[in-house]
């Protein structure tokens, strides 16, 4: 499909354990040049998403050092998923309905093995691509 999510998602994924700190998450985002990390439980199963925005909110609102805030306390959960074959317009609707800025892209047969993540930057790529065609 020409405008499927699989064409516009970010396939390079970054992960962090829910037991890590907000500081470690910020360092991981910087290292990986990523604005979102997939949060894993101790069994390495995806359980949430933590974003740059979550880190900013937690450090701005909480009067607690970021090395004492756990990722599990600031992550978005449950994860909202979508399959890679859905049209990008469907992704926009799903994001709006669930009030999220990132969708985890998964094959319905393997929901614990993410294929990618779709965020606002990916929509910018989609819009840019539409204007070139």
Q: How far is CA 91 from CA 9, 40, 43, 51, in A?
A: 11, 23, 28, 18
What pLDDT, on a 0 to 100 scale, did the predictor assign at position 1?
55
Question: Which domain, by its residues, includes 57?
Answer: 5-132
**CATH code of 55's domain:** 3.10.580.10
Q: What is the mean pLDDT of residues 39-53?
A: 94
H helices then E strands: how many in the chain? 5, 6
Indicate if the pLDDT at residue 56 is higher than 90: no
Question: Does residue 110 sit in helix, strand or coil?
Answer: strand
Is the pLDDT confidence value at 128 over 60? yes
Structural domain count, the chain: 1
Put simply, whether the predicted model's pTM sits higher than 0.85 gets the answer yes
Closest CA to 4 of 109, 98, 82: 82
Q: Look up residue 89 and give its DSSP letter.
A: H
Provide the pLDDT confidence category of residue 104 given band limits of 50, 70 and 90.
very high
* Closest to 78 in 3D by CA, of 52, 113, 41: 41
């Amino acid at each position: 499909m020409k405008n499927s999510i699989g064409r516009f998602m970010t396939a390079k994924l970054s992960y962090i354990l829910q037991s890590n700190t907000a500081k470690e998450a910020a360092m991981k985002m910087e290292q990986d040049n990523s604005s979102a990390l997939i949060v894993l439980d101790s069994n390495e199963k995806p359980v949430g998403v933590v974003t740059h925005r979550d880190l900013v909110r937690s450090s701005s609102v909480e009067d607690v050092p970021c090395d004492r805030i756990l990722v599990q306390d600031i992550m978005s959960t449950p994860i909202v998923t979508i399959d890679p074959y859905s049209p990008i317009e469907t992704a926009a609707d799903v994001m709006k309905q669930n009030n999220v800025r990132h969708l985890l892209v998964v094959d319905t047969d393997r929901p614990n093995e993410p294929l990618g993540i779709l965020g606002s930057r990916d929509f910018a790529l989609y819009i840019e691509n539409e204007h070139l065609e």
